[in-house]
Amino acid sequence: MDSRRDFLQKVIAPFIVLPFLSSKEKSCNQSDSDGRVLRVAIMGLGGYGTMVAEAMKDCKRAKLVGVISGTPSKIKYWQSKYNIPEKNCYNYENYDNIKNNPDIDAVYVITPNALHKEGVMRVAKAGKHAICEKPMSVNAKDGEEMIEACKQANVKLLVGYRMHFEPKTLEIIRMRKDGELGKIKFFQGLCGFTIGDPNQWRLNKKLSGGGSLMDIGIYAINGSRYMTGEEPAWVTAQETKTDTVKFKDGVDETIQFQFGFPSGAVASCLSTYNMDNLDRFFLDAENGYAELWPSTGYGPIKGRTNKGELTQPHKTHQTVQMDEMAAIIFEGKKPVVPVDGEEALKDLKIIDAIYLAVKTGQKVDLKL
């Protein structure tokens, strides 16, 4: 199975050479309902930002209207490709001026992890709703400050947990909630790929905040919580590093971590930048089981339970996510699994605890 980075490159490549779309094609994502359309500016025009932009073409409730980037050539390209007016284009020095732009409702921060906090805080100060990629920041302290800033500014803080809207994932959660699986006993989350370019920001602690755990391991952390329906009470963790040149101090290559839950259920998870074919969730319960494999890739997700194969149709994750976020912001809709700052803060607290467990070799208690 290709890594998600390989998949991302394959998805993005065709758009680099395609001719610019016509104005008619670009304006096709107007709402066909009575609900307001969430007008979004994307901050960070890299690979994932491009994927979100492409997915938003099919949104009913969200529309790409602005960009924020430090690269003028990218801004010009996105202007032409997505029909973005000059007045909605900003760089990292002047985007505080979005406070004076009534045509932008929200900013989606898709920058390296360590830059999320500054982006969200400035967006909030400008009076705009903030959507932030995960992990929300590099530690829980930063996350708490981001949440407080958005509360003070009376704006929403949402986080890009696209799997919280994925149909097969939601079906397993429904089965668990309805008691079809019985008492949950065990969860396994395996997340990893072999990372490439050693000079990329993901391997730079100042930008990433860590290594595989911050990038791919967060899926297992978050998945263990929504698959079991519980918050972990303790964590233990061990790190393995085979390449100290590529994975410098503070940049983890492989981490195994274990959770204990109040019910007695346990979890065993792995996060790595040095193994492929790892994108699997498995949930074991007294009356059955559920498996997703792949479990968090860009799609399609595949799954089965003791009752058979899951057949819910695939929908582009980011398209669904952005439409759902519009409903959350404008109508106060409550998703099955939260995507707000408080939800993301719990993952950051767990990440902090995993790194502490690695450092000390001790079990770390969690209070979420």
Catalytic residues: 134, 219
Say if residues 257 and 235 touch (Cβ distance below 8 Å): yes
SS3 category, 270: strand
Question: H/E element holding 258?
Answer: strand 254-260
Distance CA 305, CA 328 (A): 30
Say if residues 347 and 189 touch (Cβ distance below 8 Å): no
Find, among 296, 189, 201, 297, the residue nearest to 251 by Cα.
201
CB atoms within 10 A of CB 229: 14
Say if residues 274 and 287 touch (Cβ distance below 8 Å): no
CB atoms within 10 A of CB 343: 20
Question: H/E element holding 282?
Answer: strand 274-285
Say if residues 194 and 242 touch (Cβ distance below 8 Å): no
**Residue linked to tokens 């595989």:** 212
CB atoms within 10 A of CB 56: 24
Say if residues 130 and 109 touch (Cβ distance below 8 Å): yes
